[in-house]
Structure 1
Amino acid sequence: MGMSKTKEHRTQQVIGVQFDIAWEDREMNYERVEALLDERCGEIKKGAMVCLPEMFSTGFSLKVNKTAEGDEVVTEKFMKRLARKYEVYMMGGLVERDPRPNGNRKGLNLCVVMNPEGEEVCRYTKIHPFSYGQETDFYNSGDEVVTFKWGELTVAPFVCYDVRFPEIFRHGAAKGAEVITVIANFPEKRIAHWVTLNQARAIENQAIVVAVNRVGDDPFLAYNGRSLVIDALGEIRADGGEDEGLVMWDIDLDVLDEYRGRFPALRDMREDFLGLDE
């Protein structure tokens, strides 16, 4: 008798782009992102999810007149072009003016996702602007946890300071998120918190966490990367270290499903404590 063939596992590739963001210089940042992806384009799989940091085209600037997309929406167009070029989902952070009548012309710190056809499939507004760093003086907060479908997986995106507020991640889990993304400009002096908080978000929500940070310096802070892919048990599976480059990992859907089925902690979640039982 011949040996039985082992069933091939279902996988989906995730890629974090960790780079030194040039301060308020869109064109230089577009060029750097594309160069980093081109260097390893042979390893990029169709349908992968490529994640860029928070405010990747400008850095974490409080000058909304510099960071906000104008009528030309050049950053969105750049992301759509790359999504089509590499046939991937492109996620990245950008800024738009708050269009609401009571928005006071402040900005919105967004995470936007394009599909491989170059169509927008998700738009999340950072729920927790960083008050300690005066972000709340210039950017309004979002009020909704959102998810989107990426292949067979459901993804909940978050931005930077959000990672300190586990309750909003729980809402993502309640909406079925198996993957959580955190795009950030998280400084070197608090990097130990970054690692531990992202591991905690993975463990408590039995989810894959893809956490993408920047390196280099802006006029105020130093950044040392540590972009991470963390599995549902909290184990770091890919670590970008402190240099520019891509962080790649294939999420094994069968391993994730098996773990969640064997240890079904999410079934014991008390949605009444989340205000979801009404």
Structure 2
Amino acid sequence: MKKKIAMIQYDIVFGDPAKNRERAEKWIAEAAETEAEIILLPELWTTGYDLTRLDEIADKDAKESIEFLSNQAKKWNVTFVGGSVAEQCEDGVRNTLLVINQNGELVHKYSKLHLFQLMDEHLYLEDGQDESDFELDGEKASGFICYDIRFPEWLRKSAVNGTKVMFVVAEWPAPRIDHWRALLQARAIENQCFIVACNRVGADPKNEFGGMSLVIDPWGEITAEGSSGEEIVTTEIDLDLVDEVRGRIPIFQDRRVDRY
């Protein structure tokens, strides 16, 4: 099964959900013109890392973000891996990834499991308790958020469950952008699946972000790569390649689950 992907890597207005939805709408219209079937947005695209004001600006149960993406999905007939948003839940704020299909239906929600202490996430966010896996047109897929990719055992769980494509949304800082590339290539190779990873660009008051959104195939080859500036990165992936690679090097059959 082939899918055309568009990843929107752009700067995010610090702490202003209304302006960010306005910006996203313009970028989505441009991405839709590429005839993409799946569009990705970056992590925390409605607020950025304005963590100290999340109680004020977070989206209650992500309803406003879901409605926005649902309307855009139906308008352009696309599926969204809608980045992640600050979701106000009963017990606090979570960093939540949203998957909306082309009919405007919420397919999946996943709240970030691993909170990044270097950017004070643990002080302002609750960790997620969701599973990362979902179905995309009958194929198994999964979604992860930024720091998650430093935990290979978390992504391996999805691979063992049969996922063929791992979507990653991020606000990955520019000083560690080499880690971004290396970690994502490793996750693709060891799990023999596609990695589709969208990272923001620009800066907030404390951080500069690196862009370089990536698509990596199950052999670990980079098939699309963004720059450090605002742009839409497009490519096509063929999920049948996953079966071919897993058939040639049967690592999942050779795992020693009796020992680890």
Whether the 8 Å contact between 1:206 and 1:266 is mirrored in structure 2 is no
**Residue in 1 aligned with 2:72?**
82
Structure 2 distance, partners of 1:211, 1:176, is 19
Structure 1 distance, partners of 2:59, 2:130, is 21
**Residue in 2 aligned with 1:56?**
45
Bigger radius of gyration, 1 or 2? 1
Q: 1:273 to 1:205 in 2, by over 3 A?
A: farther
Whether the 8 Å contact between 2:46 and 2:86 is mirrored in structure 1 is no
Q: Does 1:173 align with 2:159?
A: yes
Q: 1:185 to 1:273 in 2, by over 3 A?
A: farther
Q: Alignment identity in percent? A: 38
Letter in 2 for 1:231: D
What stretches of structure 1 of length at least 5 have no aligned partner? Answer: 1-9
Q: Does 1:207 align with 2:204?
A: no
Q: Does 1:69 align with 2:59?
A: yes
**Residue in 2 aligned with 1:18?**
9
Q: Report the Cα offset of residue 181 of structure 1.
A: 1.2
**Residue in 1 aligned with 2:23?**
32
Letter in 2 for 1:21: I
Pairing of 1:1-278 with structure 2 (within 5 A): 10-45=1-36, 48-62=37-51, 63-70=53-60, 73-91=63-81, 92-99=83-90, 103=91, 106-271=92-257
Structure 2 distance, partners of 1:272, 1:115, is 39
Q: Report the Cα offset of residue 167 of structure 1.
A: 0.8
Write 1 or 2 for the structure with the bigger share of strand: 2
SS in 1 for 2:42: coil
Structure 2 distance, partners of 1:32, 1:97, is 22
Higher mean displacement: 82-91 or 69-78: 69-78
Q: Report the Cα offset of residue 31 of structure 1.
A: 2.1
Q: Report the Cα offset of residue 272 of structure 1.
A: 5.2
Whether the 8 Å contact between 1:44 and 1:86 is mirrored in structure 2 is no
Q: 1:40 to 1:113 in 2, by over 3 A?
A: closer
Structure 2 distance, partners of 1:273, 1:110, is 34
Q: Report the Cα offset of residue 270 of structure 1.
A: 3.7
Say what the alpha-carbon RMSD is for the aligned residues: 1.8
Structure 2 distance, partners of 1:214, 1:179, is 20
Q: For 1:174-199, what per-residue CA distance to the aligned partner results, in whole angstroms no more than 9, with x for missing partners?
A: 22111111111111011111111111
Whether the 8 Å contact between 1:213 and 1:225 is mirrored in structure 2 is yes
Q: For 1:213-247, what per-residue CA distance to the aligned partner results, in whole angstroms no more than 9, with x for missing partners?
A: 10111111011201111111111111111111211
Q: Report the Cα offset of residue 71 of structure 1.
A: 6.8
Letter in 1 for 2:181: V
Q: Report the Cα offset of residue 142 of structure 1.
A: 1.7
Q: 1:273 to 1:125 in 2, by over 3 A?
A: farther
4+ residue runs over 3 A deviation? 270-274
Higher mean displacement: 85-94 or 208-217: 85-94
